Chain A
Amino acid sequence: MIAQQLFNGLFLGAVYALFAVGYTLVFGVLDILNLAHAAIFTAAAFVALSLALAGMPLPLAFLVAAAVAGIIGILLDRVAFAPLRARNAGTLVPLISSIGVAIIIGAIMRGIYGVDERHFTTGGLETVPAIRLGPVTFTTVELAIFLSAVALMLVLSWVLRSTTLGRRIRAVAEDRIAAALLGVDLERTIAATFFIASSLGGAAGVLTGLEYNSVTLDMGGPIELKGLAVIILGGMGSVTGAVIGGFILGAVETLAVAYGASAWRDAIVFGVMFVLLVARPTGLFGKRALRQA
């Protein structure tokens, strides 16, 4: 039973990690918490759903939706963050403007798609071939989701480490003013950061929608706070940390339930986060990890 539970945790963790990587990237570069990240997560799932229902092959719909999410991310920055950045409004005010954008995105989604739960396919999950590996069972969809999440995180890690864009992003994260003096185009780098972060968050949304064959207006709700727990576990601003934090969270959640504490699951998750923060205020990896990635 524990083997199955750990597998459940692994699949859950992959999506948490993907969501949190975007969250932490924005924090690492701009020192702000983007509370519209969960709304973009949801919007991308709806976009992919529309495309898939219109007949587009799923992998393509997935990529297009992630790209759309990235564009929404750039718009989010231009509308909610850039004007405040220009006026040096600190870190608290952008939090509020991102809440405003989250409300707007939610209202638009409700206007377009209505309140009902939507589905990629009808007929439940049994139509999907299952794979049995000793004591564990999982579906091909779960496997595909897991592999896509891992692949995207590897791509991000490569971009950050080995491309000019990655070096610019890390430079801006390290010291915005020094980076500007060295000729990095701040606004363009920030726009790229938002594109990457939001498309990863959007990809997580599409994968979540696919995994449960369900897209709803409030699907981003539970992951919003859990995403915070993940980036704390790993260390704010650390991409590697967010990935590991995601898997830790998935494991903690499933094990809490497996050992009969389902009613206390969220308290355990946030309790672990709280203790970790108090014991190691910079998290397992700390912000330096992004700068040195």
Chain B
Amino acid sequence: MTLLADFYAKHSRLIDQIGVNAILALSLSVSLQAGQLALAQAAFMGIAAYVSAMLALNAHWPLVATIAVAMLVSTVVAALLAYPVRRLRGVFLAIATIGFGEIVRVCANNLGSIQFAGRTVQLTGGAEGLSGIPNDATTLVIYASLAFVALALVLISRTKFALAVALVREDEYAARGVGIDVGAVRTLSLALGGAIAGLGGALYAHASFFITPTDFGFARMEQILVWCVVGGVTSPFGAVLGATLLSILPEAIRFLADYREISNGVILLAVILFAPGGLSSLWRRGAVRVRS
């Protein structure tokens, strides 16, 4: 027991990061599974992080309430974003949503504070960021949230909605043919991804004391995408696996010292070439082999 407590005392921050990252990866996997390469997760995450941090700092709301409002906001933003991009597919959708993310980041940079009714109201804090955010997203809160998201996704996967999502991904025209409202399915899956990313963003803010616009830029989006694809886009399990392994990787190869950066690239490349379907696909391939 003391061994475990000692391990936790030394690695609790990394353990928390893994939990938050897994939630973020899940949020992207929801839209990827609907066949939408929508890369606005970092923006949804950032919006929620700022909302929850501002509510905690300015209004002293309790954690759960800030998370609820933050998720609501990110969900609404995601649903609204779905409308203008409804005709975009594939890489075009990816680029439009990356552009949206950049716009959100610039706004966070420029809306540090505003003059309102003769008073200065502190908003995002601009480039100097928001510091002193209550550090109340404990390991328990983070992993309970992760479990909640996983459970919700499992339950959703058993509904007709999940069937509709799968059909839209495989063949949009066929989906329309059987009377599925493709637009609604796409909007819902983007909004669901926005809600989960919002949860991840709010937890991120409350687990890291400080947030700044660069936390939610293209580099973060790229990171979340890499987690998902390395883990495997076809299952939520893959997203969690990818986020976990790649969060640990930089610390695990610290002994490589000057060769750490290049090893990072080589490992990423090797893994993706070895398992283009993601690491979770190896698992399934292995399972099939055992059974056959």
- Chain A interface residues (CB < 8 Å from chain B): 27, 31, 33, 35, 79-80, 83-84, 87, 89, 91-93, 95-97, 99-104, 106-108, 110-111, 225, 228-229, 232, 236, 263-264, 266-267, 270-271, 273-274, 277-278, 281
Known: A97-B273, A273-B95. 19 other contacts (CB 8 A): A31-B91, A80-B269, A91-B90, A92-B37, A96-B229, A97-B269, A99-B268, A103-B265, A104-B265, A104-B266, A106-B261, A107-B265, A111-B262, A225-B98, A228-B98, A232-B92, A236-B92, A266-B106, A270-B103
Task: Tell me the interface secondary structure of chain B in the complex.
Answer: helix
Q: A residues within 8 A CB of B269?
A: 79-80, 97, 100-101, 104
Candidate in B90, B91, B262 with the most chain A CB atoms within 10 angstroms: B91
Candidate in A33, A89, A99 with the most chain B CB atoms within 10 angstroms: A99
A91 close to B91 (CB less than 8 A): yes
Stretch at the interface among B13-21, B59-67, B81-89, B156-164: B81-89
With CB as the reference atom, state the residue of chain A lying closest to B264.
A103
**Knowing A27-B91, A91-B90, A266-B102 touch, does A100 contact B262 (C-beta < 8 A)?**
no
Stretch at the interface among B48-56, B137-145, B175-183, B218-226: B218-226
Interface members, chain B 14-55 (any A CB < 8 Å): 32, 37
- Chain B interface residues (CB < 8 Å from chain A): 32, 37, 84-85, 87-88, 90-92, 94-96, 98-100, 102-103, 106-107, 109-110, 218, 222, 225-226, 229-230, 233, 258, 261-262, 264-266, 268-269, 272-273, 276-277
How many inter-chain residue pairs (CB < 8 Å) link A and B?
120
**Knowing A274-B99, A278-B85 touch, does A103 contact B261 (C-beta < 8 A)?**
yes
Q: Closest CB-CB distance, A227 to chain B, in whole Å?
A: 11
Q: 16 A-B residue contacts at CB 8 Å? A: A27-B91, A79-B269, A84-B272, A91-B91, A92-B233, A95-B225, A96-B229, A97-B268, A100-B272, A225-B218, A264-B110, A266-B102, A267-B106, A274-B96, A277-B95, A281-B88
Q: Closest CB-CB distance, A8 to chain B, in whole Å?
A: 21
Q: A residues within 8 A CB of B222?
A: 35, 99
Q: B residues within 8 A CB of A111?
A: 258, 262
With the chains together, A270 CA to B96 CA distance in Å? 8
With CB as the reference atom, state the residue of chain B lying closest to A226.
B102
Q: Closest CB-CB distance, A1 to chain B, in whole Å?
A: 24
A228 close to B96 (CB less than 8 A): no
Q: B residues within 8 A CB of A232?
A: 92, 95-96, 99
A99 close to B99 (CB less than 8 A): no
B102 close to A96 (CB less than 8 A): no
Q: Closest CB-CB distance, A224 to chain B, in whole Å?
A: 8
A225 close to B265 (CB less than 8 A): no
Out of A96, A229, A277, which one reaches B272, CB within 8 Å? A96
Q: B residues within 8 A CB of A270?
A: 99-100, 102-103, 106
Q: B residues within 8 A CB of A33?
A: 91, 94
Q: B residues within 8 A CB of A229?
A: 99
B268 close to A103 (CB less than 8 A): yes
Task: Tell me the interface secondary structure of chain A in the complex.
Answer: helix
With the chains together, A63 CA to B85 CA distance in Å? 42
With CB as the reference atom, state the residue of chain A lying closest to B84.
A278
B268 close to A228 (CB less than 8 A): no
Q: B residues within 8 A CB of A95?
A: 225, 229
Out of B84, B92, B225, B261, which one reaches A110, CB within 8 Å? B261
Out of B88, B98, B107, B218, which one reaches A278, CB within 8 Å? B88
**Knowing A101-B265, A104-B266 touch, does A89 contact B276 (C-beta < 8 A)?**
yes
B90 close to A277 (CB less than 8 A): no
Candidate in A100, A104, A107, A229 with the most chain B CB atoms within 10 angstroms: A100
With the chains together, A35 CA to B277 CA distance in Å? 19
B91 close to A100 (CB less than 8 A): no
A277 close to B268 (CB less than 8 A): no
Q: B residues within 8 A CB of A102?
A: 265
With the chains together, A91 CA to B92 CA distance in Å? 12
A277 close to B96 (CB less than 8 A): yes
Q: B residues within 8 A CB of A80?
A: 269, 273
B273 close to A84 (CB less than 8 A): yes
A264 close to B106 (CB less than 8 A): yes
With the chains together, A229 CA to B102 CA distance in Å? 11
The 9 residue pairs across chains A and B that have the minimum distance between CB atoms: A103-B265, A100-B269, A107-B262, A104-B265, A267-B106, A270-B99, A100-B268, A89-B276, A107-B261
With CB as the reference atom, state the residue of chain B lying closest to A35.
B222
A281 close to B264 (CB less than 8 A): no
With the chains together, A113 CA to B244 CA distance in Å? 33
Q: A residues within 8 A CB of B268?
A: 96-97, 99-100, 103
Q: B residues within 8 A CB of A83?
A: 273
